Amino acid sequence: MHSVAILAYDGMSGFESGVAAEIFGLTELSERFSAGIARPWYSIQVCAEREELRMIGGATLRTPHGLADLAAADTVIIPSVWDVTDPASPALVEALRSAHDRGARLVSICSGAFALAAAGVLDGRSATTHWLYADLLRSRHPEVHVDPAPLYVDGGDILTSAGCAAGLDLCLHIVRSDRGAQVANDVARRLVVSPHRAGGQAQFIESPVPEPAADGRIAASTAWALAHLDVPITLDQMAERSAMSRRTYLRQFAKATGTTPVKWLIEKRIDASLALLEASSLSIEQVAARVGFESPVTFRHHFTRAMHTTPSEYRRCFGRPDLTFEAGRASTG
């Protein structure tokens, strides 16, 4: 039987480890999808550096399984770490390296990627973590290719996921890889979750309020552009608002913003579309026109590229629950 070890640590919430324990410890599967699968299908152990741990809320967790058991498992899951600024303990690092050298599958959820990175097993690989921690992981472990966009990254023997709830997506993906899509879908139905979520983390990242451009002339042109996003805007128009030649404007714009006027305009039009998708009854076509895209096709292309999901999927996730949309038209439910 495939063994799964889940790390527990002092101060844990229990959510991330509970997700893994629920999925890999599940015993009730539909007979039509799970014929021939032994029950239980995985053996799970909760492992910790010491026998008794404190959990958030005052609960106490006791486990007889230590890091030696963790290192000996077929799949090792690091659900998160207590503090991303604290280094992983030497004992945990050694257990992870031992498991990796033995050929175990290593899995991290949320900030658990910091423990894997500390063990050196992510060096030269792509990995993800919660978008809040992506920059910190990148700065502390520059040898890791940190990608903050996806919900999870499958590197074969090492898999990493984004925030806590993305652990569901990753664990279902593992079941899908191990047992097939039909079984994974059945598990998803049992948990009342989607078997596969569209998009990645980009749709959940808070858009920061942009800093005003240091150059007042550039700021004047960007302020004008933001007030006229619903109409076509040319580079010459923006340069004219700044009283600069086209060439000088391009150079000064890049110096002030770190990007080009075209890329900046696309970004701001996408930003402006979010509120309309979330709270308006405009169709996707109307949203595209309202924020100045030439066509719905162009809007969908740039939106999907920036947000890693489609405008329609974004609206399903974040739109007003009292609005329903059919054939491009909206109505209140």
The pLDDT of residue 167 is 87
What gap in Å lies between CA 82 and CA 122, rounded to an integer? Answer: 20
What per-residue confidence (pLDDT) applies to 204? 59
Q: What is the pLDDT of residues 257-295, one digit of tens each?
A: 888 999 999 989 998 898 888 888 899 999 999 999 999
Q: Facing residues of 52 across strands?
A: 62
The residue whose two tokens read 């031992």 is: 98
CA distance 223 to 272: 14
What pLDDT is recorded for position 146? 93
> Contact, 203 vs 178, CB < 8 A?
no
Angle, CA 317 vertex, CA 332 and CA 137 arms, to 5°: 160
User: Cα–Cα distance between 74 and 1 in angstroms, integer?
Assistant: 9
Nearest by Cα to 267 from 226, 312, 317, 309: 226
Outline where the chain has alpha helix (H): 15-24, 31-34, 67-72, 90-102, 113-118, 134-140, 166-179, 181-191, 216-226, 235-241, 246-257, 261-279, 284-290, 296-307, 311-318
Distance CA 248, CA 268 (A): 22
Where are the domains positioned within the chain? 2-191, 216-318
Q: Which CATH superfamily is domain 216-318 in?
A: Homeodomain-like (1.10.10.60)
Q: What is the pLDDT of residue 182?
A: 76
Question: At residue 81, what is the residue type?
Answer: V
Tokens representing 26 are 């599940």
Question: Judging by beta carbons within 10 Å of its beta carbon (0-12, 13-18, 19+), is residue 246 exposed, middle or buried?
Answer: middle
What pTM does this model have? 0.64
DSSP 161-214: ESSTTHHHHHHHHHHHHHH-HHHHHHHHHHHTS-SS--S-GGGGSPPPPPPPPS
| Residues contacting 224, CB < 8 A, separation 6+ | 238, 241
List all residues 6 or more positions away from 106 whose beta carbon is below 8 Å from its beta carbon: 75, 76, 78, 96, 99, 100, 116, 121, 157, 158, 159
CB 82 within 8 A of CB 9: yes
Report pLDDT for 308: 80
Which pLDDT belongs to residue 238? 93
β partners of residue 77: 6, 107
Identify the pLDDT of residue 197: 67
Average pLDDT, the chain: 85
Question: In the chain, which residues have pLDDT < 70?
Answer: 28-40, 194-215, 320-333
pLDDT of residue 29: 61
- Is-same-fold flag (2-191; 216-318)? no
The pLDDT value recorded for residue 289 is 93
| CATH number for region 2-191 | 3.40.50.880
